[in-house]
Structures are given as structure tokens and as C-alpha cells.
Amino acid sequence: MTYHALVPADVERLDPKFLELARQVSTATLTSQLLRRGFANTVMYGVVPLRPDLRLAGQTFTLRYIPAREDLDPAETDNRTSKQRIAVESVGPGDVLVIDARGDARAATLGDILATRIKVRGAAGIVTDGAFRDTPSIRSIDLPTYAQGQSPYVSTRVHHPLEINVPIGCGGVAVMPGDVVVGDGEGVVVIPRGLAEDVIAAAYEQDQREQFIRDKIQRGASLLGVYPPDEQTLHEYEEWRRGRGRG
């Protein structure tokens, strides 16, 4: 079964090389670069990784829940009409399913079977400001997953899936379809699609420079002239960078 005709909003795809760079950059550095461009509300509040060892980078495919109501949700889920199931069957390589659960973790937004299907479809990860169920099992899936909590209750006890690939809020952050989302052990940051290449490239360069500075500090250098770097330190960094084949 294919669901693509039911899913709105084709998005401009990001060159995979930028997603690879994003996987190597900390969310802390990305937020610094976003702040320099005037974006101060980009980190999801209360959304934490199930697997801090896995790095997340992809483009957002959104799913919006509203509070459940008895006349909206049938006793048995219909895979052909449920927006949750349509979303799961529509994500693909490079996509991150980002779920707006209104910060309500009283019931899960999905469980391990749907997470497994998302993994098999090649998606890059799942982010929700609600809960997962089957959380121990989801941790065993080699897929970056982020949530606000965990609950054994099925989603329909609290949530009704209403819309796919529309603007949503997740963890207090505005998320547009096709935005770039990056996650690490510290949290999840959302990068507006129009800024993604610039922000990621600048963040990668910043991380490389800070790696050089950390190495100097570890070897006994003081902060003076090193952090922040003065002209001499920047010159040394450029020499180091060229030596690594990045010049």
C-alpha cells in the first residue's frame, strides 16, 4: 500500500553531505550559530534521547496530535485512514518523524512495532514531546529516538492523530515540514530549512576550531589568548587545519 497521495507538502531536500556534517557537530555549537543569526528558540524543552550514543540528523516529517475524543477514534485502528499509520508508512530516507503531542506524556505516541517499521523504511529518527511505549524495546532498535517520557498506554487513550506535514510545535519549538533537526546526548535543535547549509557549515568549522583549542588547553595552555583565540592562536589553528587536509 502507498500513502504518498495522502501526504501534503513536498519539501526541498538537503544535500546529504550537510546531514553528515551535522552528525559530527554538537547541538551546543549549532545553537550558538543560530543565536548569531537571531534565532533564540530552537532547542526542544524536556525532549531527551533514549539512546544518547546515537546521533540524529535529518529533515522533519511532522505529525500533529490533538486530545482524543470518543467519537474521533474507532475501537480498532484502520491503517488506511489513521494519520498516525499513514505517517509511519510515508517517512523515508533522511526523514525524522516529529510528533506534536502537546507535551502530554500520559499515553504513548507510538510503540516498538511502529518504530521498527520507521527504521525499516530508512528514516533517520523519531522525536516526540510526548511518550513512547515499549520503551525498553525501542532502545534496542538502532534508531535515534527522543521523547519527553514513557507510558504503557496506547496513544488513542489521550491522543488523536489529526494532520501530517503541517507546521507544529514540539518541545516548545516551532517546526515546519522540511526543517533540519539535529540531536545528540544533550537534546534536539531545529534549524530552519533556509538557514541549514550556512548554519551547519559554520558550526562544523566552529567545532573544529574548538577541538584545536581544547587540545591546547589539555596540553597546559592558559585561557589567555587561547579562549577566545587571539591572532597567534588563529594562525596556529590554520596551520593545524592545513595539516589535517582541510585547508
pTM of the model: 0.91
CB 94 within 8 A of CB 16: yes
Distant-in-sequence, close-in-space partners of 23: CB < 8 Å, separation ≥ 6 = 55, 56, 57, 182
Q: What is the mean pLDDT of residues 107-129?
A: 98
Q: In whole angstroms, what is the distance from residue 18 CA to residue 34 CA? A: 16
The burial of 99, by beta-carbon neighbours within 10 Å (0-12 exposed, 13-18 middle, 19 or more buried), is given as buried
pLDDT tens readout for residues 197-243: 999 999 999 999 998 999 999 999 999 988 989 999 989 889 888 88
CATH fold for the domain made of 4-193 = Glucose Oxidase; domain 1 (3.50.30)
Q: Give me the pLDDT at residue 32, please.
A: 96
Torsion of CA 108, 110, 116, 120, to 10 degrees: -150
Whether residue 228 is preceded by a cis peptide bond, meaning omega within 30 degrees of 0, is yes
The pLDDT of 68-78, averaged and rounded, is 84
| Other Cβ atoms within 10 Å of 132 Cβ, number | 28
The number of beta carbons lying within 10 Å of the beta carbon of residue 26 is 18
Domains of the chain, residue spans: 4-193, 199-243
